[in-house]
Homo-oligomer: A and B are copies of this chain.
Amino acid sequence: MTAARLDEIDRKILAELQADGRMTNVELARRVGISAPPCLRRVRALEEMGYIRGYHADIDARELGFEVQVFAMVRLVSQSERDLSAFEALACEWPLVRECHMLNGEIDFILKCVSPDLTSFQRFLTEQLTAAPNVASVKTSLVIRCAKDEPGVPFSVVEERAAAALG
């Protein structure tokens, strides 16, 4: 288990920073029960080791004018590594595509897209995505509403597993 190097304080730090990434270090230290200097050292170490990849403001897309959110299920003609990588490279370049996951099963890729409106999404769909080389078919589903959108990891489960590992 790769998280074995983390003790309970480290996990608490990750949980707190996931919940509020802009918390001051002294507040963080207070919450996890140590003083500020070692707390800051732990945060730096967690960043170094890759447990923390970065910090992001959570921006409301709708408020910024992105009224449309779409999941696009993409099937390719060829699934050779070369062609898979080529499609991924393309997806990375499209700003409207926020996530690109390669899947098992009949669908090759699922893309999460945002767009200001249906018209501009349709243009992206027909002129870029469907028109891209090696794309066999694209099925899209509009997001009607979003009941849950939590970034990251459920720390309740992390703690359960850590407790079980001590057994």
- A144 surroundings in chain B (CB, below 8 A): 101-104
B71 & A110 in contact (Cβ 8 Å cutoff)? yes
Q: Tell whether A127 is near chain B: CB-to-CB under 8 Å.
A: no
Report the interface size for chain A: residues with CB under 8 A from the other chain: 67
Least distance between A97 CB and chain B CB atoms (Å): 7
Residue of B whose beta carbon sits closest to that of A97:
B148
Least distance between A107 CB and chain B CB atoms (Å): 6
Q: Tell whether A27 is near chain B: CB-to-CB under 8 Å.
A: no
How many angstroms between the C-alpha atoms of A64 and B1 in the bound complex? 8
- A148 surroundings in chain B (CB, below 8 A): 88, 91-92, 97-100
Residue of B whose beta carbon sits closest to that of A157:
B95
Restricting to A144-164, which residues have a CB under 8 Å from any CB of B?
Answer: 144-154, 156-158, 161
Number of copies: 2
B22 & A101 in contact (Cβ 8 Å cutoff)? no
- A80 surroundings in chain B (CB, below 8 A): none
How many angstroms between the C-alpha atoms of A22 and B24 in the bound complex? 9
B146 & A66 in contact (Cβ 8 Å cutoff)? no
Q: Which of B18, B53, B60 contacts A51 (CB 8 A)?
A: B60
18 other A-B residue contacts (CB within 8 Å) besides A53-B60, A98-B154, A114-B153:
A2-B62, A2-B63, A3-B65, A20-B54, A20-B56, A50-B63, A51-B60, A54-B57, A64-B153, A66-B153, A95-B154, A95-B157, A100-B146, A101-B147, A103-B142, A103-B144, A114-B154, A116-B157
